[in-house]
Amino acid sequence: MMDFKSTATKLTVKYLFLQAFLWMSFGTIWSFATTYLLYKGFQNTQVGIILSIGSIISIGFQPFIASFIDKFENLKLKSAILALIIILFILALALWLIPYNFYITGFIYILIGVFILSLPPLIYSIALEYINLGININFGLARGIGSISFAFMVYVIGIATSNFSPTIILPVFAGLTAITGIIVCTFESPLKYSDSASDKKKKSAKADPKNNQRIFSFFITYKRFSMLLIGFILLFISHSLINTYHINIISNVGGNDADMGLSIAIAAALELPVMVAFSFIVSRINCSNLLKISAFFFMIKIVVTCFAPNVGMIYLSQLFQLGSYALFVPASVYYVNDIIDESNKVKGQALLGAATMGAGGTLANFIGGRILDSYNVTAMLVFGIISAVIGFGITLFFTDKTVDKEEK
């Protein structure tokens, strides 16, 4: 009989490193995309177009690749992830080694955006494959380490780009993605453990491809979840407005770049304790209620940010990261895993990522920039408040009271 506790511990350690290198890779190439592209001679508007196109395409690509994985029984999740990582590695080397060309650089960065934004939901699904077998990987701890690793890498790369050149992000990213791929290779197929799982859990290891649905059919079957995704998009518009235009928000109350750095660090540091404790939290409060709580704190955070009269109050507003983003990430992943049938779980996670990091972030970047150009920071944040309030209402109404039953 397999020692599930020992197996879970070993897999958690590996998954912890996987999350760490995933988010260090993400922070290196995506957080410094603007810095790199501006250095290469792109204008701000052109940078915005490139990043927006990458984000928009990823919204469609994520459910597409997830449907492909769900549909073909012989296509392993690990193989699909490795394919994306290899493509990212090649794109980074190409951008680094090929002589500079304006159009090629823009095109390659769009592709990088599509694939790097599509990776997190698939990486989440690795842990869920084991969790569904009763091997309780500590997802919250691993995701928390991912957040801290992201913050650390962004800090280091910030120093590196200042002392050297923004092009340094390319070899660093290539190296980090290579390590990420190596870690992915160490994960064995969940089917290896299925013989030791209960009959109910065995079904989780190998879903029936006949139950796999196309995207349109999926939305029809999971009507309430589809509406819930709209709520998540609205919540993440408010969240992304604060993150994307944080320097504008800080400057509006008399702060500077150093204040912005500290403010972001506060938010990132606060994510870790909540994510680490998530396994305990979810054993006391079900995921549906945790989602409602997080939606409430998204709303409170942007209200406090909007009416903050000074930098100190901006710092205070970042404390609400504890109840908003830090709680939402693991709760939403677990919630989707609970309500979506086995043959569509990867698709469900992909749609979650497409709604939050994809659609929410893209709309925030576009609309927020337009409001700032036409009005001011306060007007942008008022828009964020309206978005968060509506998102909170949708989350309250369309989140299932229980997550034990499939939402049909």
* DSSP state string for 81-120: HHHHHHHHHHHHHHHHHSPP-HHHHHHHHHHHHHHHHHHH
What's residue 199's pLDDT? 47
What's residue 281's pLDDT? 93
> pTM (2 decimals)?
0.82
Q: Which residues of the chain have pLDDT under 50?
A: 1, 199-200, 202-206, 209-210, 403-408
What's residue 406's pLDDT? 40
CA distance 321 to 266: 9
* 128-154 tens-digit pLDDT: 888 888 888 898 899 989 988 988 888
What's residue 408's pLDDT? 39
CA distance 262 to 158: 13
CA distance 64 to 372: 34
Sign of the alpha-carbon torsion through 341, 346, 351, 353 = positive
What's residue 407's pLDDT? 41
Q: Is 220 exposed, middle or buried (0-12, 13-18, 19+ CB in 10 A)?
A: exposed
C-alpha to C-alpha distances, 13 to 139, 156, 273, nearest whole angstrom: 10, 24, 17
**What number of residues does the chain have?**
408
Sign of the alpha-carbon torsion through 110, 111, 114, 120 = negative
What's residue 319's pLDDT? 95
Please name which of 318, 142, 360, 385 lies closest in space to residue 232, comparing C-alpha atoms: 360
What's residue 190's pLDDT? 73
Which residue stretches of 307-376 are H helix?
311-318, 325-339, 345-353, 361-374
Which residue segments constitute the domains of the chain, with CATH numbers given?
Answer: 1-206 (1.20.1250.20), 211-408 (1.20.1250.20)
